Amino acid sequence: MNSAADHAGATISPPRQPDVDTRNQGARSQMAAGSNSCGGSFLARRSDLIKSRAENRSAPPDVMVIEDESIDAERLMATLRVLLGYDHEIRWTSTLGDAVNRVVERIPDIVFLDDALKPSSDAAQIIPLLRGAGFSGPILLSVKK
């Protein structure tokens, strides 16, 4: 059995402090000093990068979407606006005849084409007509199968 005499000469040490992880200490203090904890400095740097790219960019590409389903056209154009900028004009047409007329009026830089326009036009019929109207740029097909 242990008695008080057994512990009389023992010293009591304070509780041990947990080990401190110093690997990311510099990054943590920099984050705390630089901005709020919601990523404000990241967003500011990203905004500056986007502005810099916009200033150095030449004229934005002229984009035409040929799509007969309005919901699909709206979805594609929304995605393109996120990529190109919300003030960017994207031309949309839903018929083959209107698409050819618009290409003749102003040749786009790139065309996004539905692979099957109603009533019975498919990409194999549409692409030669666009090329004949003077369009020589890239055509990206939207396939729904």
pLDDT in tens, 5-44: 555 555 665 666 555 555 555 544 554 444 455 667 877 7
79, amino acid identity: T
This model's pTM is above 0.85:
no
Q: In this predicted structure, what is the pLDDT of residue 35?
A: 46
Q: Tell me which of 144 and 97 has the higher pLDDT.
A: 97
CA triple 123-128-134, angle to 5 deg: 125
Cα–Cα distances in angstroms (integers) from residue 81 to residues 60, 61, 74, 110, 120, in the given order: 12, 12, 10, 14, 29
Task: Answer yes or no: is pLDDT of 138 > 70.
Answer: yes
Helix (H, G, I), strand (E, B) or coil at 2: coil
- Phi and psi angles of residue 83, each rounded to the nearest 5 degrees, phi first: -75, -40
